[in-house]
């Protein structure tokens, strides 16, 4: 969890006039740039301290985080919730839905403590007593929601193989689907009275081998009279994936996401 230290100057005007009185003041420090990732839940921990970096309780106030575009064209508010009010610990959570409509980029943020009469007090975040800090909304480091890709079932290659004892069997092989070296592979198989075997194949070749020489089995589904949707998730990085089965009968749909 990322953390922000917020500072309250006790008995001092907001303009930090007491800095000229000769009293030693320890400026806020240790705050780092906050990054929020689209597509996931982002909890943010906040710690309220005095100017000498001691924890302080603001239990008689409600804290809010104000966020705006750098040009000030839009603004929204998130309330902070206490996790240990005695020690000035708070949390604000940005759910995935909070960031869906926001563009990736940099935003300004500042914090206010508001009492029951509606009187506001600014909280400081920077080593030079800045009232604002920048946060970055990132798109792409953690993938945002992308609809699953439906795998075409009408263009699989039929191979007929004859064994040494003269028996023959059929295999159906899909085309190669780009996996982008993603470590997360998700599949959903929808079947209707399907009896057979489905191999999920992967390769790390830059150019996938048509003959399957450099392909490996990620997993195998052996199903009997299956009529359901089966979800499978794997942590495996590969460049391409394929599917292989001994029958297409009853295999209604495959969805894939990486």
In tens digits, the chain (258 residues) has pLDDT values of 555 554 454 433 222 222 223 333 344 444 556 788 887 788 888 777 766 667 677 778 888 888 888 877 767 888 888 888 777 788 888 888 888 778 888 888 888 888 888 888 877 776 566 677 778 888 755 454 567 889 999 999 998 877 777 778 889 999 999 887 667 788 999 999 999 999 999 998 888 888 788 899 999 999 999 999 998 888 888 889 999 999 999 999 999 987
Domains of the chain and any CATH numbers = 2-138 (2.60.40.3350), 149-257 (2.60.120)
48 vs 126: CA distance, rounded Å: 13
Q: Are 195 and 224 in contact (CB under 8 A)?
A: yes
106 vs 69: CA distance, rounded Å: 7
Torsion angles phi and psi, residue 252, rounded to 5: -90, -40
Q: Record the pTM.
A: 0.46
């Amino acid at each position: 969890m990322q953390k922000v230290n917020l500072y309250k100057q006790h008995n001092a005007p907001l303009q930090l006039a007491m800095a000229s009185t000769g009293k030693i003041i320890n400026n806020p420090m240790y705050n780092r740039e906050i990054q929020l990732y689209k597509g996931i839940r982002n909890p943010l921990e906040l710690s309220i301290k005095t100017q000498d970096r001691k924890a302080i309780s603001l239990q008689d106030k409600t804290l809010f985080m104000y966020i705006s575009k750098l040009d000030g064209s839009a603004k929204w508010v998130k309330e902070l919730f206490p996790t240990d009010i005695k020690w000035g610990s708070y949390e604000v959570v940005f759910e995935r839905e909070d960031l869906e409509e926001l563009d990736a980029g940099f935003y300004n943020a500042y914090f206010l403590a508001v009492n029951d009469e509606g009187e506001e007090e600014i909280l400081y975040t920077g080593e030079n007593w800045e009232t604002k800090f920048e946060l970055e909304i990132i798109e792409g480091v953690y993938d945002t929601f992308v609809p699953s890709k439906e795998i075409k079932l009408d263009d699989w290659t039929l191979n007929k193989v004859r064994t040494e004892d003269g028996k023959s069997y059929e295999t159906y092989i899909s085309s190669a689907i780009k996996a982008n070296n993603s470590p997360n592979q998700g599949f959903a198989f929808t079947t209707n009275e399907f009896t057979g075997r489905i191999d999920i194949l992967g390769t790390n070749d830059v150019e996938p081998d048509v003959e399957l020489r450099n392909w490996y089995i990620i997993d195998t589904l052996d199903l009997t009279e299956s009529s359901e949707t089966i979800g499978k998730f794997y942590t495996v990085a590969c460049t391409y994936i394929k599917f292989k089965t001994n029958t297409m009968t009853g295999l209604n749909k495959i969805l894939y996401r990486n």
